[in-house]
Structure 1
Amino acid sequence: MSFRDIVVYLDAGVHCTNRVHTAVDLAAKYGARLVGVDISTKAALEGESRDAALAIRQLFVTALQGTNIDFEYRKAPPDARTAEELSSHCADFLIATQANPDDRHLSNPAVPEAVLLSAGVPMLVLPAGWRAENPIGNNVVVAWNFSREATRAVHDALPILRAAQKVYLFIFAPNYSNDNADVQDIKAHLERHGVRVTLAGWRDGGETDMTSALFAGLDRGDADLIVCGAFGHSRLSEAVFGGATKVLLSNVSMPVFMSH
């Protein structure tokens, strides 16, 4: 298994350049085709943002010059809402950035949240302010809770996990032990896929929550990517990107590779 098609969303916002260069680096790393999908709104073509919006295609093409990457630029309808209209179905993963309140009106509001919900394709969400020269995927933390969502995320991310220098398997549970049979099962499964696994469990004693424990552990692991499932609780309890999912997606420290 490897990545063959990557989609990166393009807009006139301040984070687009670094997002594009990150996408180019990842496409080169995995030998994937890169599709840039322009998700500019009608508002982006007005006022001060107009020049940047008109230059999006050239920005994308220029970033790929001198590479051997197969690529394509696409323009989504300004009012696109479906995963099909946003070219997300025929991809191994999508790349977006956290919503930026200052220029949110310049890009399609369906990205990232609604697309992640509807596409059936994992998404790499970069933090606001992410710089393309930052490492990504060398030291990965897998947030594992034996759920359907976590299982999907782990298998979607296998090419990343196999290429990583180290993968920390983070499990937050009241009865956590490295020797638990279910812990050893997932560790052994990943190792059979060529993943270098380090157990990094946390026994839940009620004094903290999962995301706080996760980020406390990240300081020790020097991690540069989180892999996790989205919407591990009911839609009502998470209120669309609430709970742990919302906290992980709004973190300012590192990218999140998320599956729903």
Structure 2
Amino acid sequence: MSYRDIVVYLDAGANTANRVRTAVDLATKYRARLIGVDISTKAAFEGESHNAVVAIKHEFVTALQGKHIDFEYRLAPPDARTAEQLFSHCADLLIATQTNPDDHHLSNSTVPEDVLLSAGVPMLVLPAGWKGENPIGNRVVVAWNFSREATRAVHDAMPILKHAQNVYLFIFAPNYSDENKDVQDVKAHLERHGVRVTLAGWRDHGETDVASALFASLDREDADLIVCGAFSHSPLSEAVFGGVTKVLLNNISMPVLMSN
């Protein structure tokens, strides 16, 4: 398994150039076709942002010159809502940035969150202000909780996990032990795919929440990517998972690859 089609969302905001840089790096690494999807709003064509919107296609094409990868620019309707309109239905990976309050009016409001939860395609969400100076995926923390969404995320991230120098399996549970059969099963499954796994479990004594424990683990492991499942906004899921999806989507420290 590898990534063959990668979609990167484009707009006139401050984060697009560095988002494209990261997308180019990943497309080059996995020999994937890169599709730049312009998600500019009608409002983006007004006022000071007009020239930047008009230049999006040119800047995307210029960034791809000499990179030796197949690429294409596409323009989504300003009011796009469906996977087909946003060109996410024929992709292996979507790349977006957190919503930036300073220029959120320039891009389609369904990206990243609504697309992540509806497209059925994994999404790499970059922090606002991401510079794209360093590669992603050398030291990865997998947030694992034995759920359908976590399972989907691990398999969707497998091309990255197989290339990573270190993959830390983070599990937050009251009865956690490295020797638990279910923990060993997950570790062995990843290792059969060629993934180099280190167990990084955290026993839940009720003194902290899962998000705080995860970020403490990230500091310890010096990670550059989180892989995790994304959960819907139903009252039940928010009660069970404590809105962890929201916390991770809004984290300012590192990229997150999510699947739903």
TM-score normalised to structure 1 length: 0.97
* Separation in 1, partners of 2:158, 2:33: 18
Matching of residues 100-179 of structure 1 within 5 Å: 100-179=100-179
1:147·1:232 contact (CA, 8 Å) conserved in 2? no
* Separation in 1, partners of 2:4, 2:123: 15
Q: Aligned residue for 1:193?
A: 193
Q: Aligned residue for 1:11?
A: 11
* Separation in 2, partners of 1:216, 1:133: 24
* Separation in 1, partners of 2:90, 2:232: 25
- SS of equivalent residue, structure 1 residue 20: helix
- SS of equivalent residue, structure 2 residue 194: coil
Q: Aligned residue for 1:94?
A: 94
Please state how far the C-alpha of 1:67 moved relative to its aligned partner: 1.2
* Separation in 2, partners of 1:46, 1:232: 34
Same amino acid, percent of matched pairs: 80
* Separation in 2, partners of 1:232, 1:40: 26
TM-score normalised to structure 2 length: 0.97
1:7·1:35 contact (CA, 8 Å) conserved in 2? yes
Please state how far the C-alpha of 1:121 moved relative to its aligned partner: 0.3
Residues 139-179 of structure 1: per-residue CA shift (max 9 Å, x gap)? 00000000000000000000000000000000000000000
- SS of equivalent residue, structure 1 residue 74: strand
Residues 3-58 of structure 1: per-residue CA shift (max 9 Å, x gap)? 10000000000000000111001100111000000000011111000010000001
Please state how far the C-alpha of 1:235 moved relative to its aligned partner: 4.9
RMSD: 1.4
* Separation in 2, partners of 1:107, 1:198: 39
Letter in 1 for 2:247: V
2:10·2:37 contact (CA, 8 Å) conserved in 1? yes
* CA 1:99–1:61: 2 relative to 1, 3 Å: same
Matching of residues 60-75 of structure 1 within 5 Å: 60-75=60-75
* Separation in 1, partners of 2:219, 2:67: 35
Unaligned segments of structure 2, at least 5 residues? none
- Note if 1:253 corresponds to 2:256: no
* Separation in 2, partners of 1:219, 1:60: 34
Letter in 2 for 1:221: E
More displaced stretch, 227-236 vs 151-160:
227-236
Matching of residues 181-260 of structure 1 within 5 Å: 181-231=181-231, 234-235=234-235, 237-238=237-238, 243-260=243-260
Residues 90-142 of structure 1: per-residue CA shift (max 9 Å, x gap)? 00010000000110000000100111111100100000010111231000000
- Note if 1:20 corresponds to 2:25: no
* Separation in 2, partners of 1:129, 1:235: 31
Please state how far the C-alpha of 1:83 moved relative to its aligned partner: 1.1
Q: Aligned residue for 1:84?
A: 84
* Separation in 2, partners of 1:99, 1:51: 21
* Separation in 1, partners of 2:232, 2:36: 30
* Separation in 1, partners of 2:221, 2:69: 32
* Separation in 1, partners of 2:82, 2:99: 18
- SS of equivalent residue, structure 1 residue 170: strand
- SS of equivalent residue, structure 1 residue 85: coil
1:149·1:232 contact (CA, 8 Å) conserved in 2? no
* CA 1:210–1:124: 2 relative to 1, 3 Å: same
* Separation in 2, partners of 1:105, 1:59: 20
Please state how far the C-alpha of 1:233 moved relative to its aligned partner: 7.7
